[in-house]
Amino acid sequence: MQRLIRIAAAAAALVLAGCATAPAPAAHATPQLRLAPALLGRPLNLQQHLTLHAPGRDQQLDVLLEADARHVRMGLLAMGQVAARLDWDGTTLTESKASWWPQEVSGSRILSDLQLTLWPVDAIQAALPAGWRLVEDGNVRTLTQDGQVVTVITRLGPLLALFDQRREHFQLKIESRDLGDDAAASANPT
């Protein structure tokens, strides 16, 4: 039974990795953000349930996220088992992965997409290379390259977001639960 769980988890992770890390031509690759934890401007303590939708595939993953001015820490859970841990201190990204978790799943990419979703627009824009732009209009963030839409992030509620990676043809539904102060969650939607 344990072996079956590992095989199923590995298969799920490969699907997730294949959709979420599909290589794009270098000129079209989404920039990898490396923003300081302090730039977030607030602490986070969230439990997230991610549902990946890609052509012909759906996958689910749970994430525990903790951020303060010094660190961003994440634990990724697949099928109830710890798949990976990430720790970003603003200088070094430390990753540890379960032996059954595919090496192709990039902690760097996970951190970048997290920052694109949660960090302030001004901080992100300052880190983007020439030709890239992030605009926030109400509950919608749009990342473009030379005027072409690459990613759209829509906040559907205080703790619900849809991450639509148009260039790589996948969507993530991000359902969050604040494990800290509920008042802070409604004042600072994810």
Structure tokens at 130: 């020439």
Which of 73, 78, 47, 46 lies closest to 61 in space, CA to CA?
78
pLDDT at 2: 36
- Phi/psi at 155 (nearest 5 deg)? -85, 115
In 55-159, at which residue ranges do the beta strands (DSSP E only) sit?
57-67, 72-78, 81-88, 93-97, 132-137, 140-145, 148-157
Q: How far apart are the first and last CA of the chain?
A: 37
Q: Phi then psi for 112, rounded to 5 degrees?
A: -60, -45
pTM over 0.75: yes
Greatest alpha-carbon span in the chain: 51
H/E stretch holding 155 reads strand 148-157
Distance in angstroms (rounded) separating the CA atoms of residues 186 and 80:
28
Q: Are 31 and 128 in contact (CB under 8 A)?
A: yes
- Assess contact for 161 and 155: CB atoms under 8 A: yes
How would you write the pLDDT of the chain (190 residues) with one tens digit per residue?
A: 333 333 333 333 333 444 444 444 455 689 999 999 999 999 999 999 999 898 988 889 899 999 999 999 999 998 889 999 999 999 999 999 999 888 777 888 889 999 999 999 999 999 999 999 999 999 999 999 999 999 999 999 989 999 999 999 999 999 999 998 654 444 454 5
Query: In this predicted structure, what is the pLDDT of residue 26?
Result: 53
CA distance 172 to 159: 14
Q: What is the pLDDT of residue 104?
A: 76
